[in-house]
Homo-oligomer: A and B are copies of this chain.
Amino acid sequence: MEKLNLKPFETTVIGHPIVQRTAPKVRVSNGDDKVTNDLKKIVQDNVKDGMTISFHHHFRNGDFVFNQVMKIIMDLGIKNLTLAPSSLTGAMNDVAIEAIKNGTVTNITTSGMRGSLGEEVSHGILKDSVIFRSHGGRARAIEEGDIKIDVAFLGVPNADRCGNANGMYGEEAFGSLGYALMDANYADKVVLLTDNLVDYPNTPAPINQTMVDYVVEVDKVGDPDKIGSGATRFTTDPKNLKIANLVSDVITNSSYFKEGFSFQTGSGGAALAVTRYLRKAMIEQNIHASFGLGGITKPMVDLLEEGLINKLMDVQDFDKAAAQSMKDNKNQQEISASWYADPDNKGAMVDQLDVAILSALEIDTDFNVNVLTGADGMIRGAVGGHQDAGTAKLTIICAPLVRGRIPSVVKSVGTAVTPGDSIDVLVTERGIAVNPNRPELIDQLKNVPGIDLCTIDELAEKAEKIVGKEEPLKFDDNTVGIVEYRDGTVIDTIKQVKD
């Protein structure tokens, strides 16, 4: 059934609406009876047909929680569930596909999906359309009741008998609990899963006992080796290094590069390299950042420890070093997804962000960005924080002009995820295009040596010359995905791929 009542996307401007927040129903307890090792009984007692259940994806590819819980749910024959995780990772694909095919799961809202699950959903296996939301959009949807979580199953690397928990200590430590804090605060029932029951009271406790109904001891919550991306490696690919260098040049020659500026980077090779180039410019020009935001990486922690960044505002940690440092650096502040990016609150971090360096699968000549579907029309990505960080004063997309035979710059993106209005600059190794709605940025960059400004149409033409004209993809009528803009309007839909 399509959600035809959703409004179409109109503008990136949020304004000053007055919104009524929602709140959970609480089953009162004195906290004495929370610990159990009987996950099956907890599921049986609390999950019913038609409910909405949630998970976080902070364990990433090392997650053991989703599969444990979903297998029990399937064994019990519970049906018609809505899955509302913060995102779905590869570790969950096989079980998610099984749960969809046998009718256990009939609705999904997520930031993204990849691999076999993306392909199967693109082929129409889910009864209803997936709703794709950004991290800030999910926070908004939860806070306003668009997503009403009945039971949240949250894996944690430590917890005490009453449910005080953090993401910082324990074998499977992942650092910030940013996304999971939404579930912990708003779900009616919160079930923690842990393999590391610690002394009461456990602190710090971003998830505290007042939010938690059950603490379930399990054998393992995750595989430590697959949680972070391990040691951070800089790209050695010359094309990526060139793009990174150009991105750094765009930033340092813009009016935003000044004492107290702020920035967010992703975890890709080019983004990590940008941080390295930016560091050099910051030292040379004696410029310090007020904060670094987002998924935190080791290069950002290095800048914090060097005194080049004052604060890291941390909604998740992309690598082990970043996760480790949260407990050591008091200036690495854990923030919830709401504080990070909910557009409907009294100011999120992204509203204060100067510079965002983001990636793209595709960007079109109106600067609309696709980070969700591939050139074959398959779902193979995630909205993530893309729409959210896109609100930065200077949003830079970095992408190679083509990837093999696939163009990154196109006439029209397969799926519009982040609206072109919020994108300011596209940096490719073959030229840099500034959004025409930012004439002052063009002025700042047009005479900078090494910055080769062109129009985005020119870049699209260059790409077409290399890879040839694209064949338009063919789709079935069935809508398999609805992409919300962060404010809850619909920015695009994803159709079923034709076999």
Contacts and interface: CB of A to CB of B under 8 A. Distances in A.
Contacts of A291: 200-201
Interface string A5-31: 000000000111111111111111111
Contacts of A219: none
A485 to B, nearest CB: 15
Given A163-B346, A210-B338, A345-B26, A311 B20 contact: no
A342 B210 contact: yes
A155 to B, nearest CB: 18
Contact of A200 (B211, B290, B345): B290
Contact of A339 (B28, B209, B311): B209
Give this chain's copy count.
Answer: 2
A230 interface: no
A310 B16 CA distance: 46
A206 to B, nearest CB: 11
Contacts of A347: 29-32, 34, 162-163, 209-210, 212
Contact of A21 (B18, B26, B311): B26
A313 interface: yes
A138 B335 CA distance: 27
B351 A31 contact: yes
B333 A205 contact: yes
Nearest to A20: B25
Interface string A34-61: 1000000000000000000000000000
13 contacts: A14-B30, A17-B28, A19-B25, A21-B24, A21-B26, A26-B346, A28-B346, A163-B347, A201-B349, A203-B333, A205-B333, A208-B339, A213-B346
Pairs of residues from A and B, 8 with the lowest C-beta to C-beta distance, nearest first: A31-B347, A21-B23, A23-B23, A30-B351, A203-B333, A210-B345, A209-B347, A17-B28
Interface of A: 14-32, 34, 162-163, 190, 199-201, 203-205, 208-213, 260, 290-291, 310-311, 313, 330-331, 333, 335, 338-339, 342-349, 351-352
